[in-house]
Structure 1
Amino acid sequence: MWNFVRAVMLALLVPLAAAAIAQDAPEPRLGAVTNLPLPRFVTLKTSEGNARRGPGLTHRIDWVFTRDGMPLLITAEYGHWRRVEDAEGVGGWMHYALLSGSRSALITADMADLHDSPSEDSTVVLRAQKDVVATLLQCTANWCRLRLAGERGWVLKSQIWGVGKDEILE
C-alpha cells in the first residue's frame, strides 16, 4: 500500500517540480519595439549623440557621446528611443537613428596585444592602448578579432568591452 501511495505522490510531484524549475529559468528578454535581445551591443554612428534623461526631445540632455564608432549597450526600448550605457555605465535615452547595428570594441586593458591567431603563443601584430575603439569582426569563447588602423588581430575577450562574455560572433 505504501509503495502505491509513494508512486502516486511521485507521479504528481515530478511534473510540478519540472514546471517550477522551468518557471525559474530566465526567459530571454526581447525589446518591445524591435523584438531583438536585450541587452545588446550597438555602435554610435555619428560623431556626436545626446543621451537624454527620458525617451523624447523634451527630456533634458544628461550626457553627450562624442566618439564615432563607440560601442554602447542597449538596455531598454521605447518607440524610436533606446536606453544606452557606455563601458562605465553612463548613458541615457538616444534616438535609434544615432545607433548602428555594426559592432565595435573598446580596449579596457592598459595595453592589449593583438595576435595573428587566437593564441597567446602567436605573434603580436599590434598593441592597442586603453580606450582605443576598434571594429569587432569575430569572437570565439575567449578571443575576438579586431580591425584597427588597417591591421587585424586577435585579442583576449577579457581585455575589451563591447561583446558579451558568452557571445560568439562569426
Structure 2
Amino acid sequence: MRWILLVLCLAGAASAQERGPVTNLPLPRYVSLKAAEGNVRRGPSLSHRIDWVFKRRDMPLEITAEHGHWRRVQDRDGQGGWMHYSLLSGTRTVLVEDEVVLRARPDAAALETVKLEAGVVARLGECSVEWCRLRAGGYRGWARKDGLWGVAADEVRE
C-alpha cells in the first residue's frame, strides 16, 4: 500500500507544471523576440560569450529557465542560450512549419482565405484544441495547430 501511495505522489508531482523562480510563470512557455536583433549568450550575464544572434523580430522562442533578468530560450531547432528579458515580449507569435491554409472558421470545410508558406511568422490569437486564429501580412483566419511552432499541442487560448 505504501508503494502505491508513493507512486501516486510522485506522479502528481511530475504532472504539476514547473514555475519560473523569478516570474512564477509556467516553464516552459512561449514568447517572441521584441527587438530586431538579440544576442544569445552562453550564460546569464553580459560577461558570457555571445553564441548566437537572433535577427528576426517577432520570432517565437521558448523560455526554458530563468535567472535574475535573464531567460534561457530556444528556437524551433533547439538552438539558443541566455537572453536579457528586455529583448523578449509576451506577445505570442508562431512559426509556420509546413504550408498552412487560413480558413474563415475553425473548420476544414470553411472557405480558404490564404495559404501561408513555411517560415512565415504570424501573430497568435485564440486557439481551440485543434485550431488557432492567426494574423499575417494583412490576412487573418484559422489554421490547424499541427503545422505551427510556438503553441503547445494542448494549449487553449481565449
**TM-score in same-fold range (> 0.5):** yes
Tell me what 1:154 maps to.
142
| One-letter amino acid of the structure 2 residue matched with residue 85 of structure 1 | Q
Q: Which has the larger radius of gyration?
A: 1
Aligned counterpart, 2:84:
95
Alignment RMSD: 1.1
- What's the CA shift for 1:22? 2.1
Q: How much has 1:18 moved relative to structure 2?
A: 3.2
Match of 1:24 in 2: 11
Structure 1, residues 52-80: CA drift from partner, whole Å, max 9, x if none? 00000011111111111110000000000
User: Which ranges in structure 1 are unaligned for 5 or more consecutive residues?
Assistant: 1-12
Aligned mate of 2:52, from 44, 51, 63: 63
Structure 2: runs of 5+ lacking an equivalent: none
CA distance in 1, matches of 2:64, 2:3: 33
**Alpha-carbon distance in structure 2 between the residues aligned to 1:138 and 1:130:** 21
Higher helix share: 1
Letter in 2 for 1:150: G
Which residue in 1 is equivalent to 2:75? Answer: 86
**Whole-Å separation in 2 of the counterparts to 1:163 and 1:67:** 18
Match of 2:153 in 1: 165
Match of 1:50 in 2: 39
What TM-score, normalized by structure 2, do the two folds share? 0.95
- CA shift, 1:16, in A, is 5.7
Q: State how far apart, in whole Å, the 1-side matches of 2:151 and 2:87 are.
A: 19
Identity over the aligned pairs, expressed in percent?
50
Shift of 1:101: 0.6
Counterpart-to-counterpart distance in 2, 1:63 and 1:16:
47
TM-score (norm 1): 0.88
